[in-house]
């Protein structure tokens, strides 16, 4: 049986309900399309673990700020569809914005407190509220047993875990590792915005993260010291403009005064006009 | 089979899941306990329409403001339990606050926009966010097909309808009419806070609403005129202090410049130290 594309809430709900009644385990991979090998690795992981897999392609307007790239975000549905079909996905769910947010839509699902105090949150006001709202909505419609997210959006994963646990949606949240180009650049749908110079420069993010990890392995335990090591790699690279370099507890995402346990090195930078993020979990040696 | 009392999320989830698997229709009546005939009328309506009925008793801390009456809100669980059991309820679900909001809980489900622009919302900041959050959480745990709410909290009903529709929880929201004492006072768990003078004065809210309706029936079409008619009844009554008198569209809760269609007369007033609300839907004659 081939892949089906569903475009309405009602059709997806009916489909999920039918499968659930039959006792099948449903998996879900939410995406904004413009699929790359990172997405496909989540799809492959999910397919190994569930009976039926739904992948959504939906460029979620409410998670973009007014000055962000909603309108130019790449839309490649025909290609995405072919990739997902070939991968063995059961349903491609691609609702119209007006189906997800009909006129009068006024609800927000938000996570407050420490998880949204740092990293991307202060730079993208409203972004995570948009993410948690759309994910909560998708979970209600798709009703998966488990959902897969990419480690590249580490803060998103932590926030969605929190939301899922708090609301008791009963969806298991699973995380797939970052997939990289051979030169270390983390795969991102936004990489296609890079011009030649930007594409050459962008792997500096990954080298910066590696430099931070090397500093920790050499015994550096102060976040400032690790940050300095990262900055030494990034500063000379043009056209890279760092937005933040952070070292936080890998689970709570809280700042650390002295590094211990599992930490997350995280970075956001503009490469030309394109904002990229990357991160690296590191176990601090005792 | 008698009524069961469940105190943990897990137990309620398991119970609901079992019933759903058997294809039974589940009803839900969320309450803060201190049950009166208004609650019991919702229970009776629900019992006529579902196969199994869950009633929650939970005084929800996050819907009370810091200066509101969370700590003195009446708690009468033994009596509530007896009433619900006698009524034929299947499950009394009464979780501890720490079960509903474990340490680290950080999620809020909110409704924004016009529905929270007027009536109680400006007077009780955070109140409706607390309500929608707890209801969303209950809906996830109880997974009812339909839930019953009282018309007395008309704004709450509108907001919960919105939230339910927006998130696609698939719960049908049903509303039971206000139940009144013989002198017109709307039943409320807070009526027990009234002293003798307050109890004598409190039916003025209902008389005020009736005066507003009478003005409309006499041909008054300006909100100011209707409000004046209501105020004439309420102003002389001590110890009643009006917080708001509003005439809004019954469905959108938006202010009207000229009355038409179905409108809602709504009132909030302190009677002594006790804040009471009441309302009356009126069809404006052509």
B183 lies in some domain: no
pLDDT of residue A276: 97
pLDDT of residue B218: 96
Do the chains contact at A105 and B166, CB–CB below 8 Å?
A: yes
pLDDT in tens, B128-166: 999 999 999 999 999 999 999 999 999 999 999 999 999
Q: B142: left (phi > 0), else alpha (psi -120 to 50), else beta?
A: alpha
In contact, A219 and A213? CB cutoff 8 Å: no
The percentage of chain A sitting over the pLDDT mark of 70, rounded to a whole number, equals 100
Listed residues B176, B201, B216: the one ending a domain: B176
Is B145 among the catalytic positions? no
pLDDT of residue B14: 95
Q: A213: left (phi > 0), else alpha (psi -120 to 50), else beta?
A: alpha
Q: Comparing C-alpha atoms, which of A156, A24, A7, A189 is closest to residue A93?
A: A7
Do the chains contact at A115 and B109, CB–CB below 8 Å?
A: no
pLDDT in tens, B48-86: 999 999 999 999 999 999 989 999 999 999 999 999 999
Q: Comparing C-alpha atoms, which of A87, A70, A95 is closest to residue A35?
A: A87
* B108 contacts in chain A (CB < 8 Å): 108-112
Residue B109 has pLDDT above 90, yes or no: yes
Listed residues A150, A176, A202: the one ending a domain: A176
- Quick one: average pLDDT of B174-195? 97
A286 lies in some domain: no
Q: Which positions 168-227 of A are in contact with B (Cβ < 8 Å)?
A: 168-170
pLDDT in tens, B210-260: 999 999 999 999 999 999 999 999 999 989 999 999 999 999 999 999 999
**Which residues of A form the catalytic set?**
39
pLDDT of residue A117: 93
Do the chains contact at A107 and B108, CB–CB below 8 Å?
A: no
Measured in angstroms, the CA of B167 and the nearest CA of chain A are apart by: 5
In contact, A124 and A65? CB cutoff 8 Å: yes
* A170 contacts in chain B (CB < 8 Å): 13, 140
* Any B CB within 8 A of A63 CB: no
- Residue A35 has, within 13 A of its CA and on its CB side, a CA count of 25
* Any B CB within 8 A of A109 CB: yes
The answer to whether residues B149 and B77 belong to one domain is yes
Residue where the block lists tokens 């089979």: B1
Tell me the residue range of the domain where A218 lies: 189-280
Classify burial at B135, counting beta carbons within 10 Å of its beta carbon; exposed 0-12, middle 13-18, buried 19 or more: buried
The answer to whether residues B18 and B154 belong to one domain is yes
User: Could you write out the DSSP letters of every residue in B38-91?
Assistant: HHHHHHHHHHTT-SEEEEEE---GGGS-TTSSTTTS---HHHHHHHHHHHT-SE
The answer to whether residues B212 and B165 belong to one domain is no
User: Could you write out the DSSP letters of every residue in B86-138?
Assistant: HHT-SEEE---HHHHS-TT--EEEEE-SGGGTSTTGGGSTTHHHHHHHHHHHH
Measured in angstroms, the CA of A51 and the nearest CA of chain B are apart by: 19
Residue A273 has pLDDT above 70, yes or no: yes
* A107 contacts in chain B (CB < 8 Å): 109-112, 132, 162-163, 166-167
DSSP bridge pairs for A276: A269
Q: Comparing C-alpha atoms, which of B199, B178, B149, B138 is closest to residue B266?
A: B178
The answer to whether residues B169 and B207 belong to one domain is no
The answer to whether residues A97 and A42 belong to one domain is yes
* Any B CB within 8 A of A106 CB: yes
C-alpha A236/C-alpha B77 separation (Å) is 68
B181 lies in some domain: no
The answer to whether residues B14 and B70 belong to one domain is yes
C-alpha A265/C-alpha A226 separation (Å) is 9
What CATH number did the domain enclosing B94 receive? 3.40.50.620
Q: E-assigned strands of B151-261?
A: 172-176, 240-249
Tally of domains within chain B: 2
CA nearest to B164 within chain A:
A107
B166 lies in some domain: yes
pLDDT of residue A218: 96
The answer to whether residues B12 and B65 belong to one domain is yes
A126 lies in some domain: yes
A184 lies in some domain: no
pLDDT in tens, A65-106: 998 999 999 999 999 999 999 999 999 999 999 999 999 999
The answer to whether residues A161 and A229 belong to one domain is no
Q: Which residues of A28-44 are buried (b: 16+ CB within 10 A; e: fewer)?
A: bbbbbbbbbebbbbbbb
Do the chains contact at A115 and B106, CB–CB below 8 Å?
A: yes
In contact, A130 and A41? CB cutoff 8 Å: no
Do the chains contact at A166 and B13, CB–CB below 8 Å?
A: no
pLDDT of residue A1: 67
pLDDT in tens, A181-203: 999 999 999 999 999 999 999 99
CA nearest to B115 within chain A:
A106
Mean pLDDT of chain A: 96
Listed residues B136, B155, B176: the one ending a domain: B176
A138 lies in some domain: yes
Q: Is the pTM value of this prediction over 0.80?
A: yes
The percentage of chain A sitting over the pLDDT mark of 90, rounded to a whole number, equals 95
Q: Comparing C-alpha atoms, which of B183, B213, B228, B178 is closest to residue B201?
A: B183
Q: Comparing C-alpha atoms, which of A133, A128, A118, A185 is closest to residue A157?
A: A128
- The single residue of B36, B39, B71, B145 carrying the catalytic annotation is B39
Question: Which of B21, B101, B106 is best to mutate for the A interface (most A CBs within 10 A)?
Answer: B106
Binned at pLDDT 50, 70 and 90, residue A170 comes out as confident
Cis peptide bond upstream of B61, omega within 30: no
Residue where the block lists tokens 């970052």: A178
The answer to whether residues B85 and B201 belong to one domain is no
What CATH number did the domain enclosing B195 receive? 3.30.1300.10
The answer to whether residues B253 and B171 belong to one domain is no
- Six token digits for residue A109: 């699902």
- Six token digits for residue B155: 């704004």
ipTM over 0.90: no
C-alpha B173/C-alpha B135 separation (Å) is 11
B105 lies in some domain: yes
Which helix (H) or strand (E) covers residue A110, if one does? strand A107-111
The answer to whether residues B155 and B208 belong to one domain is no
The answer to whether residues B41 and B167 belong to one domain is yes
* Any A CB within 8 A of B9 CB: yes
Contacts with B164 (C-beta within 8 Å, 6 or more apart), sequence order: B139, B171, B173
C-alpha B38/C-alpha A124 separation (Å) is 46
């Amino acid at each position: 049986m081939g892949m089906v594309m569903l475009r309405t809430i009602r059709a997806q709900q009916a489909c999920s309900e039918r499968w659930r009644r039959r006792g099948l385990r449903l998996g879900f991979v939410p995406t904004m399309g413009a699929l790359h090998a990172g997405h496909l690795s989540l799809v492959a992981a999910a397919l190994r673990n569930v009976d039926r897999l739904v992948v959504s392609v939906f460029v979620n307007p409410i998670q973009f700020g007014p000055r962000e790239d909603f309108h130019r975000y790449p839309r490649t549905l025909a290609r995405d569809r072919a990739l997902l079909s070939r991968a063995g996905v059961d349903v491609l769910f691609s609702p119209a914005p007006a189906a997800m947010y009909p006129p009068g839509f006024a609800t927000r699902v938000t996570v407050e407190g420490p998880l949204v105090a740092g990293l991307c949150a202060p730079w993208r006001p409203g972004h995570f509220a948009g993410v948690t709202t759309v994910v909560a909505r998708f979970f209600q419609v798709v009703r998966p047993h488990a959902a897969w997210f990419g480690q590249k959006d580490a803060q998103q994963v932590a926030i969605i875990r929190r939301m899922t646990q708090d609301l008791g949606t009963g969806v298991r949240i699973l995380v797939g590792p970052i997939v990289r180009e051979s030169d270390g650049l983390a795969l991102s749908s936004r990489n296609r915005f890079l011009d030649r110079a930007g594409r050459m420069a962008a792997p500096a993010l990954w080298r910066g993260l590696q430099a931070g990890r090397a500093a920790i392995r050499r015994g550096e335990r102060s976040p400032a010291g690790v940050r300095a090591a990262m900055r030494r790699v990034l500063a000379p690279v043009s056209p890279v403009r760092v937005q933040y370099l952070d070292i936080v507890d890998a689970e709570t995402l809280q700042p650390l005064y002295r590094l211990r346990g599992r930490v997350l090195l995280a970075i956001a930078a503009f490469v030309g006009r394109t904002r990229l993020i990357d991160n690296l979990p590191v176990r601090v040696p005792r």
